[in-house]
Amino acid sequence: MALSSAALATGAFCPHGDFEIAGAASGPLKGLTFATKDIFDIAGRVTGCGNPDWLASHGPASATAPAAQKLLDAGASMIGKTITDELAFSLNGQNFHYGTPRNALTPERIPGGSSCGSVSAVAHGTVDLALGSDTGGSVRIPACLNGMFGIRSTHGAVDISGVMPLAPSFDTVGWFARDAHTLYRAGEVLLPADRSGIALSRFYVIRDAFALAEPSVANAVRQALSRAAGTLSIAAELDLASELGGLGEWLKRFRRLQPREIWAIHGAWIESTKPKFGPEIAERFALAKSVAEAPEGDDQEFRTKVSAHLDRVLGPDGVLLIPTAGTIAPRLDASKEELADFRDRTLSLTSIAGLGGLPQVQIPAGLVGGAAVGLSLIGPRGSDRALLRLTEQVARALA
């Protein structure tokens, strides 16, 4: 069936191609619908990646990305492809060529990106689930800004083949749902079994993460923690990054590591094709090129230290509690300075799981001035299913 006028009005769906595929006749997700971010291959269709020049310069995919195929095999039906920021390289969700998918909660504000269409489709009730990718926050942040549930899986836990790479050592598959149980049901299909012996029972409030958020956001998330105190019994409040230079230093390293990989992946295509990018994305790729041309330094060694530090803090059963985003969603007409503040605060938070390759679940935590804020749970690597089960418990406590 064709997308309804209400679905089209969300601005969430790609204008090119027919992407309706019926799911298997039976399976654990039978009766559910999903959409797929337009960086996931679907056999016989061209993957557009949010840019008309990419769409024009690539042929149809030979196979469907395993993550999408698993949902189909489990009985879920795909109803469309969703708009992404160009080559998935933004947290805003504003596509210069195809428009801005609507934030379902605050239409005057950005939806967050780069999985902007996927979250909009879920938040408006058009689909039950949607696939996205998360490299620097591209599932966690739009989930937060739309008041949705979302997961960035442990790096490497979900097969990411057939998905356009951005920065491979950070790239992960994630997904959105309106409720914690549906998020978990998808995880049962997409995720491998957790490492044995995982029982998440130590919960740490990360003080330096809360300090990075705007006070109104931090206060709202702390209030959510108070409401969930019966489920999340706090072991301690920690300054997570102080012994490794602070979260500002972590962000600085992330901003050198990720662009270097991005240019290694996409630089040759950009130089040869000379695609037309929107102004913001053009600036980002120019910056990625300049970072890649600079001496590499010790950033990889620093990342190894951060990852080992996170493993020590978490152990087999720890969970870090942080605000998902540092501010509420900026307005659609926000200034460059406001958007820069949003990115700086938010990437400082998302870089924690990114540098560590850890799973993170975003949970709606309330409203500030009518806009959504989120609580994030970061667990040990390979604890994704346990983290999703814990998310169901927290969601019940916050309901």
| pLDDT score of 2 more than 80 | no
Q: What's the pTM value of the predicted model, to 2 decimals?
A: 0.97
Distance CA 100, CA 227 (A): 34
Residue 196: which pLDDT band, with cuts at 50, 70 and 90?
Answer: confident
Distance CA 346, CA 327 (A): 7
Residue 198: which pLDDT band, with cuts at 50, 70 and 90?
Answer: confident
The packing angle between helices 336-356 and 299-314, to 10°, is 70
Which of these is catalytic: 70, 77, 90, 114?
114
The predicted pLDDT at position 1 comes to 53
Tell me whether strands 371-378 and 318-323 are parallel, antiparallel or unpaired. Answer: antiparallel
Q: What percent of the chain has pLDDT over 70?
A: 100
In order of 111, 220, 365, the CA distances from 236 in angstroms are: 33, 19, 20
| pLDDT score of 293 more than 70 | yes
Identity at 12, one-letter amino acid code: A
99: buried, middle or exposed (CB in 10 Å: 19+, 13-18, 0-12)?
Answer: middle
Residue 5: which pLDDT band, with cuts at 50, 70 and 90?
Answer: confident
Take residue 230 and report the two structure tokens written for it. Answer: 């019966």
Mean pLDDT, the chain, integer: 97
Average pLDDT over residues 74-85: 98
Take residue 19 and report the two structure tokens written for it. Answer: 């992407």
The predicted pLDDT at position 393 comes to 98
From the list 139, 130, 142, 138, the residue with the least C-alpha distance to 103 is 142
Q: Is the Cβ–Cβ distance between 361 and 175 less than 8 Å?
A: no
Phi and psi angles of residue 11, each rounded to the nearest 5 degrees, phi first: 70, 15
* DSSP 3-state of 362: strand
Distance CA 202, CA 235 (A): 6
Annotated catalytic residue 276: no
Distance CA 325, CA 320 (A): 15
Distance CA 341, CA 331 (A): 13
| pLDDT score of 333 more than 80 | yes
Annotated catalytic residue 114: yes
Identity at 280, one-letter amino acid code: E
Which positions ≥6 away from 377 have C-beta within 8 Å?
Answer: 319, 320, 321, 360, 361, 363, 387, 390, 391, 394
Q: Is the Cβ–Cβ distance between 135 and 354 less than 8 Å?
A: yes
Q: Any idea how long the chain is? A: 399
Distance CA 221, CA 207 (A): 12
Take residue 288 and report the two structure tokens written for it. Answer: 């990625």
Cβ neighbour number for residue 53 with a 10 Å cutoff: 18
Residues paired with residue 134 on neighbouring β-strands, in sequence order: 172
| pLDDT score of 25 more than 60 | yes
Residue 61: which pLDDT band, with cuts at 50, 70 and 90?
Answer: very high
Compute the radius of gyration of the chain from its Cα atoms.
19
Tell me which residue has tokens 């109104």: 216
336: buried, middle or exposed (CB in 10 Å: 19+, 13-18, 0-12)?
Answer: exposed
Average pLDDT over residues 14-22: 92
Which of these is catalytic: 77, 118, 133, 138?
138
Residue 237: which pLDDT band, with cuts at 50, 70 and 90?
Answer: very high
Identity at 215, one-letter amino acid code: P
Annotated catalytic residue 290: no
Average pLDDT over residues 159-171: 98
8: buried, middle or exposed (CB in 10 Å: 19+, 13-18, 0-12)?
Answer: middle
Q: What percent of the chain has pLDDT over 90?
A: 95
